């Protein structure tokens, strides 16, 4: 994918159940799931407005009835057929867009309401990826399996145990997602110990938000100490190899040093923070100075079904930062350096830099 002078062929922070690729198949997934019992909520005769309708449905995803919002996507990813189709379609469309590597984040615990086990959920997804990769062998798509952090520490350990027994060629790691404010990272220390014992790579959604989005606005001055504390916990106690979000990294010399020393990748999602009103301006993230300090930061879309996609987000950031060619190259290289899966050869122009 070429955009704003970026040659971006990798994304490692993208949620499968919040991906733009779902847009074209959502009505079919609804039909497979609900038959004629429940109508798809959008006017199918106005496809040009479909994306806007979906965006309006989600609004600010941190506010309102999250369960109802995600019933649109996760709600129809409850059987093997729809899960297979979602993964197949994601892999196919990403390959056609020029991506060479993607790590799709998915929390199987939210796809078991139709009777599937978590293992069956993962198997259906992998089957979809495998079949699509047969037609598009140039792309590698892997699963980064997420635990929704509202579960008990014991349940998180059970889930990670299951994920460690799935096909490890495609399950490349685990992460922790959802409400960081109510469930700070230390809650799941034991889950990360289990992941380490099982040899799984470890990521964590951290330093994203720590306030109550329904009652308060994000406030850096108020939130910074807790955001920093959570990052420190994830880096040191959870032993993560990749921090997802970590949007205050540029505000702490101590954490910048720690991130560099531990060589932890950082996947930021500027378009996501604008959509969730965590920041007002992408310049807040200080991406240019982080790159100039050689911190392994890369940029991603998060949930581009209802947020800006990679190309929209990169265009926006480039207008704000006016990145140099070197900074643009680092954004791509850092994503390749900090990816978890290594089934296929990397693009030739960076292969020698990844050894």
Residues that bind Zn ion (CB under 5 A): 302
In the bound state with Zn ion, the residue whose beta carbon lies nearer, of 21 and 302, is 302
User: Which lies closer to Zn ion via its Cβ, residue 26 or residue 203?
Assistant: 203
Min. distance of Cβ 122 from Zn ion in angstroms?
19
Half-sphere exposure (Cβ direction) of 14: Cα atoms closer than 13 Å:
31
Is 118 or 302 the residue whose CB approaches Zn ion more closely? 302
Shortest CB 205 distance to Zn ion, Å: 5
Which is nearer to Zn ion, 204 or 314 (by Cβ)?
A: 204
Q: Tell me how far, at minimum, the Cβ of 177 lies from Zn ion, in Å.
A: 6
Q: d(Cα 115, Cα 327) in Å, to the nearest integer?
A: 47
Q: Which of 70, 78, 129 is nearest to 102 (CA)?
A: 129
Nearest distance, CB of residue 105 and Zn ion, angstroms: 6
Using CB positions, name the residue nearest to Zn ion: 302
Nearer to Zn ion, 205 or 330 (CB): 205
Q: How far is the CB of 47 from Zn ion (least distance, A)?
A: 27
Q: Are 147 and 175 in contact (CB under 8 A)?
A: yes
The token duo for 21 is 């690729």
Q: Which residue, 223 or 302, has its beta carbon nearer to Zn ion?
A: 302
CB of 300 to Zn ion, least distance (A): 8
Q: How crowded is residue 153: how many other Cβ atoms within 10 Å of its Cβ?
A: 15
């Amino acid at each position: 994918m070429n955009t704003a002078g970026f040659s971006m062929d990798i994304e490692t922070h993208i949620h499968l159940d919040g991906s733009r690729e779902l847009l074209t198949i959502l009505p079919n997934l609804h039909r497979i799931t609900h038959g004629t019992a429940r109508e798809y909520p959008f006017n199918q005769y106005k496809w040009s407005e479909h994306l806007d309708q979906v965006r309006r449905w989600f609004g600010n995803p941190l506010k309102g009835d999250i369960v109802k919002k995600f019933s649109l996507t996760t709600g129809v990813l409850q059987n093997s057929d729809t899960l297979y189709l979602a993964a197949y379609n994601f892999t196919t469309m990403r390959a056609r867009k020029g991506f060479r590597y993607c790590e799709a984040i998915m929390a199987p615990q939210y796809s078991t309401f139709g009777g599937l086990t978590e293992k069956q959920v993962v198997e259906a997804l992998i089957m979809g990826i495998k079949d699509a990769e047969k037609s598009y062998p140039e792309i590698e798509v892997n699963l980064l399996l997420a635990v929704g952090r509202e579960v008990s520490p014991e349940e998180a350990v059970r889930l990670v145990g299951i994920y460690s027994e799935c096909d490890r060629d495609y399950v490349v790691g685990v992460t922790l997602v959802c409400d960081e404010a109510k469930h700070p990272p230390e809650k799941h220390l034991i889950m990360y110990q289990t992941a380490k014992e099982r040899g799984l790579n470890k990521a964590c959604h951290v330093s994203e938000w720590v306030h109550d989005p329904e009652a308060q606005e994000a406030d850096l001055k108020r939130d910074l100490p807790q955001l920093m504390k959570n990052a420190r916990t994830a880096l040191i106690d959870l032993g993560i190899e990749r921090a997802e979000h970590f949007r205050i990294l540029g505000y702490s010399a101590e954490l910048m040093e720690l991130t560099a020393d531990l060589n932890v990748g950082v996947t930021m999602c500027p378009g996501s923070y604008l959509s969730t009103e965590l920041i007002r301006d992408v310049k807040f993230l200080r991406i240019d100075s982080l790159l100039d300090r050689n911190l392994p930061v890369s940029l991603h879309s998060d949930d581009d079904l209802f947020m800006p996609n990679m190309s929209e987000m990169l265009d926006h950031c480039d207008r704000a930062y006016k990145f140099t060619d070197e900074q643009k190259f680092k954004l791509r290289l850092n994503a390749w350096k900090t990816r978890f899966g290594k089934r296929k050869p990397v693009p030739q122009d960076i292969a020698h830099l990844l050894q």
